[in-house]
Amino acid sequence: MVFKETFKKLFKLVVILFLSLLLFSCNEIKGNYKARVINWDDSLIEELSVDSLDFDEIQNLPNAPEREGYSFDSWISSTDFDRNTITIKAVYKINKYEVVWKNYDGSILKTDQVEYGKMPNYSGVTPTKLATAQYTHIFSNWTPALNVVTENQEYIAEFNSTVNEYEVVFKDWDGTILKSETVSYGEAATEPIKPTREGYDFDKWSVAFDNVTEPIEVVAIYLQHTFTISWKNPDGFIIESTKLRFGDAINLPSKKPFKLPTENHYYEFSKWIGYTEQMIASCDIEFEAEFIEKEFIVEADTKVAARKRYLAAIDYIDRYFEKYPNEKLKIYHGTSSDLTMLTNFVLNLTASATTEEEKVQIIFQWIKDNIEYDESYLSGYAMDVFKSRKGVCLGQSMLMVDMIKIAGIPAVVADGYRGNIGDVITEHNFNHFEGHAWVLAFVNNSWELFDPLWDTYKPNIDYIQSYYYTSTVDWTIPYYPNINLNVTHGMIEIEGYYFTISDGKINRDASIVFTVNNYQINWEIYKLNSGLVYEDKEKAVPPDGATFTDGYLCHNGYQKKILHSYARPNGQLITSKVYQEENEIIYFQRTGTILNIIGIDIEDIELKYGVLSVNVGTNFKFSHFFDKLDEELEIYYAIGYEGDEVSSLLATVDENGYITTLKSGNAVLRYKVKYPGGDSYLATGYIHFIINN
């Protein structure tokens, strides 16, 4: 028992002693501990002296160093009591970056979060790009090239594009495959040898194949074999040509054949040589017209001839206006201010009229009462007559026609002879007849004659054939079989073609003389040297002797200025104009000539009522195309018409054509041109001009 108590006391003493020693030891090492701060890779960051090995009591730790691709997370510690040391280590967590996968058009396919340093990997649906007609697109890779992740990154899908190829199949009319070919987009297929088909001619392929953009089927198209059926005049001129299929009926042509009359004979169509009814096309055929030659028989009764010519005139203007309806009311004369003035006057004058005939009657009466017949005043220009209130029959008629057209009624000028046509007067004897002009107007659906000078209003056909012998209508000679050409001159229309007549003959040779308002000129030389050219709308070749078919005449340098205002659709030239091109003054005369004016400035020239006008004391020259020819020509100049003594007092002209004006009035330059020693004239003509004080 004593031992036990002694042991307990001894044990307590030992414990007390141990605790004392321990307490003594602790008091001895206070402030002598170490803290080692290390990085993630155990490299020393800093070593600190600390008072405790308890991490929570350690203060003033350094900042954790940066680590690429990582973010600092925390510190962890471990204690080595044997060495009185605490080790504190920086702990990091790896960064994650956004990787965006986009298609070629910028649309987002997928978004991933990828750790730093790892290789991105696309796990979405394979990118696609819609194909076009030209290309097919296949995904190839990403741009930029894939690389380990170090930051946020976008990748764009890239595609390989290949040109599409298409099949082109050539087939015959019955579906037989002629050829099959694979062709790249935009390229052309190569056609096979053109197929043949009995009874047909290959015409074309059904579709184009020079720019292939899709699969196509090209089918051969045929035309049933055709034959050319031609109808020609005896001179070889083809008046009509048609294409017919085998077995088609051959029908007569729509155009009439014609053979030009000669001085003593005219020709009546008889038949088409070789043609029979119910013929069918089986080969190319040319049918030639056969004519019966007939001798001109001068009408014993001139009234019959007068009737025929009048009815031919009506037939011509009906056909002309049917072909050119815009010509019915067209006025070619006058400046815009002139026409405005005349239009206002006519509309005022006829304001009370309610019918076409009332309008014509008012205009007829005004012309009769207000325009004085004056043979010394020869101007035929409508505005000249209107302003001066003077004029001869032609001037009165031209003014009346323009006024009637303004009132909305078609009208034309006709001219010829007026007198008492009796049985004893033949077509060869008009010497004592007066040359005259009158008006035809389309009133109440028929052409009526109006002659204000002779107070003749809508006469019947019996009166007309007794007093009016028509030479021209609307400046054109109306043709009918057995017309006596010996009393005819100017332009004649035969079956839609225009020819010129001089000395009773229709000009048929290659050197065509073309006549406008009785002015004659050598066509070929004019065309080659003055620039006057024929523009044929239908590109048809006129028959031998024809001056022109449908089209316009124009001057090479001045088409835009004169094409429509200077020429009518049938080729007749009309109106007067003066232009200056650089140093050249060009005078387009309403009689159909194109002249240069030399020796005078354009400021000293005016168009007075449509006629060239100069002052007294002017020295100038009208230069024609023949002045520019290399050939030697004889040119004769004179002032005034033959036997006209009045005009010769107004001006003089020297042998070179220079005119000196002396007195005011209406003057005329007359000229004739021929080759030296020749019998016929290359050109003859008159140039009307006005001299002012």
Give per-residue pLDDT as tens, 131-143.
999 999 999 999 9
The yes-or-no verdict on residue 222 having pLDDT over 80 is yes
pLDDT of residue 422: 65
Count CA atoms within 13 Å of residue 32 on its CB side: 9
The tens digit of pLDDT for each residue in 263-277 reads 677 788 899 999 999
Cβ–Cβ < 8 Å for 87, 38 = yes
* Residues 6+ away with beta carbon under 8 Å from 263: 485, 486, 504, 505
Span 559-568, pLDDT tens digits: 333 333 345 6
Task: Decide if pLDDT at 367 tops 80.
Answer: yes
Considering only 108-117, 340-349, 515-524, which range has the smallest mean pLDDT? 515-524
pLDDT of 489 reads 57
What the block records as the tokens of 506 is 């229709």
Is the pLDDT at 333 greater than 80, yes or no? no
CATH architecture designation of domain 515-692: Sandwich (2.60)
Q: What are the tens digits of pLDDT across the range 230-254?
A: 999 887 878 889 989 888 899 999 8
Q: In what order do the strands lie in the sheet with 577-581?
A: 577-581, 584-588, 594-598, 619-623, 658-661, 651-653
Q: Tell me, what's the pLDDT at 551? A: 33
Long-range Cβ pairs for the range 355-361 (8 Å, 24+) = 356/407, 356/408, 356/409, 356/443, 356/444, 357/443, 357/444, 359/404, 359/407, 359/408, 359/409, 360/404, 360/407, 360/409, 360/441, 360/443, 360/448, 360/450, 361/457
Q: Mapping DSSP to helix (H, G, I), strand (E, B) and coil, where does residue 1 land?
A: coil
Contact status, residue 434 vs residue 481, Cβ threshold 8 Å: no
| pLDDT of the residue at 671 | 81
pLDDT at 615 over 60: yes
500 vs 109: CA distance, rounded Å? 88
Question: Which pLDDT score is estimated for 34?
Answer: 93
Q: Per-residue confidence at 388, pLDDT binned at 50, 70, 90? A: confident
Q: What is the pLDDT of residue 548?
A: 35
Rounded alpha-carbon distances, angstroms, from residue 494 to 213, 271, 346, 644: 56, 19, 36, 36
544 or 335, greater pLDDT: 335
Give 280's DSSP letter. Answer: B
pLDDT of residue 505: 59
Is-contact 612 657, C-beta < 8 A?
no
In this prediction, residue 508 carries a pLDDT of 43
Supply angle C-alpha 587, 593, 594, rounded to 5. 40
pLDDT for 591? 52
Least confident of 152-166, 482-496, 579-593, 679-693: 482-496
Q: Does the pLDDT of residue 363 top 50, yes or no? A: yes
Q: What residue type is 69 in one-letter code?
A: G
Q: List the chain domain ranges.
A: 96-163, 165-224, 226-295, 302-488, 515-692
Of residues 395, 358, 359, 364, the one with CA closest to residue 457? 364
User: Residue 265 in contact with residue 393, Cβ under 8 Å?
Assistant: no
Q: From CA 149, how far away is CA 171, in angstroms rounded? A: 61
Q: Binning pLDDT at 50, 70 and 90, where does residue 174 land?
A: very high
Residue 36 backbone dihedrals phi, psi, to 5 degrees = -100, 115
Cβ distance 550 to 497 under 8 Å?
A: no
Does residue 13 have a pLDDT over 60? Answer: yes
Mean pLDDT confidence for 555-577: 47
Higher pLDDT, 268 or 679: 268
* Averaged pLDDT for residues 69-75: 92
Q: What is the pLDDT of residue 342?
A: 92
Topology match between the domains 96-163 and 226-295: yes
Residue 533 pLDDT > 70, yes or no? no
* Architecture of the domain defined by 96-163: Sandwich (2.60)
pLDDT at 682 over 70: no
| CB contact set of 26 (below 8 Å; sequence gap of 6+) | none
Residue 582 confidence (pLDDT)? 73
Average per-residue pLDDT in the chain? 79
Q: What is the CA radius of gyration of the chain?
A: 55
Asked if residue 192 has pLDDT above 70, the reply is yes
| pLDDT of amino acid 154 | 96
Sign of CA dihedral 204, 207, 209, 211: positive
pLDDT of residue 570: 62
**Quick one: pLDDT at residue 134?**
94
Question: Residue ranges of the alpha helices (H) in 356-497?
Answer: 356-370, 382-388, 393-406, 461-467
Q: Do 675 and 682 meet the contact criterion of CB atoms below 8 Å apart?
A: yes
pLDDT at 556 over 50: no
Nearest to 32 by CA among 16, 60, 47, 51: 51
Q: Percent of the chain at pLDDT above 70? A: 72
How far is residue 477 from each of residues 13, 239, 323, 497, 521, measured CA to CA in Å? 169, 22, 17, 12, 18
pLDDT band at residue 579 using 50, 70 and 90 as cut-offs: confident
Q: Which residues of 561-576 are buried (b: 16+ CB within 10 A; e: fewer)?
A: bbeeebbbbbbbbbbb
Strands of the sheet with 456-457, listed across from one edge? 456-457, 446-451, 434-443, 411-418, 468-473
Q: Per CATH, is 226-295 categorized as 3.10.105.10? A: no
Per residue in 280-312, pLDDT tens?
998 899 999 999 998 766 565 678 888 888 999
Taking domain 165-224, whether its CATH number is 2.60.40.4270 is answered by: yes
| pLDDT number for residue 469 | 85
Give residue 107's pLDDT: 95
pLDDT in tens, 658-670: 999 999 887 888 8
pTM of the model: 0.52
Local confidence band at 411 (pLDDT 50, 70, 90 cut-offs): very high
Q: Which residue has the higher pLDDT, 575 or 495?
A: 495
Instruction: Please give the CATH topology (third level) of the domain spanning 302-488.
Output: C8orf32 fold (3.10.620)
pLDDT top residue among 374 and 576: 374
